[in-house]
Amino acid sequence: MEKKEGTSWLCRYRLSKYSEDIEAYRGNEDEFHHLFKPYEVMEREGNVLLNIGIDEIWDLVTGASSDYFNNANAQIGVGDSSTAANASQTDLQAATNKTYKGMESGYPTSTAQKVTFKSSFGSSEANYAWNEWVVKQSSSAICLNRKAESLGTKSAGTWTLEVDITLS
């Protein structure tokens, strides 16, 4: 009997929607999240690990890349395209309505085989239908993953997207 090894990629994400604007709290987002409570929280699972993201992970492991997904360079991008996610894609599929936002202070974090990315989009940002999202490295423009799913239409306030990726 042949033994097969396996690994698991699990993505869980949470979208918290606030009426208030986070802009006055940039650099101290924890205070914003402590002071204000979201009017809606959506928690979901699943996404597509992109081929380009897989290659970048291995390049980071072998030292062939120094394009780290750290606080200065990691982003979450959102867009309005409803094109189904496919591993061969390289970024958001939206033609015009797409916005990339850097990490909140202290993110991403890494613990217990999991990395967590977290970005908040303020009142004047990404005000359109959220139908897709990615985790992206800003200087290389390489995306790890993509999810296509309707999350609602943002018109004001702050929407915070937190993405947990676990490998096991």
CA distance 154 to 126: 7
Strands 98-102 and 74-79: antiparallel
Question: Helix, strand, or coil here: 3?
Answer: coil
pLDDT the model gives residue 79: 98
24 secondary structure, DSSP code: G
pLDDT digits (tens, 9 = 90+) for 91-145: 999 999 999 999 999 999 999 999 999 999 999 999 999 999 999 999 999 999 9
Helix H or strand E segment including 12: strand 9-18
pLDDT tens figures, 49-101: 999 999 999 999 999 999 999 999 999 999 999 999 999 999 999 999 999 99
pLDDT score recorded for residue 1? 65
Within 13 A of 53's CA, how many CA atoms are on the CB side?
A: 22
Using the predicted structure, report yes or no on whether residue 6 has a pLDDT greater than 80: no
Q: Please report, in angstroms and rounded to a whole number, the separation of the first and last CA atoms in the chain.
A: 23
129/57 Cα distance (integer angstroms): 30
In this structure, are residues 151 and 42 in contact, taking their beta carbons and an 8 Å threshold? yes
pLDDT at 46 over 90: yes
Radius of gyration from C-alpha coordinates of the chain:
16
Q: What b/e readout covers 56-94, taking b as 16+ CB neighbours within 10 angstroms?
A: beeeeeeeebeeebeeebbbbbbbbbeeebeeebebbbb
- Say what the pTM is: 0.95
| pLDDT given for residue 7 in this prediction | 76
pLDDT for 75: 98
Average pLDDT over residues 28-39: 97
What's the pLDDT at 28?
A: 95
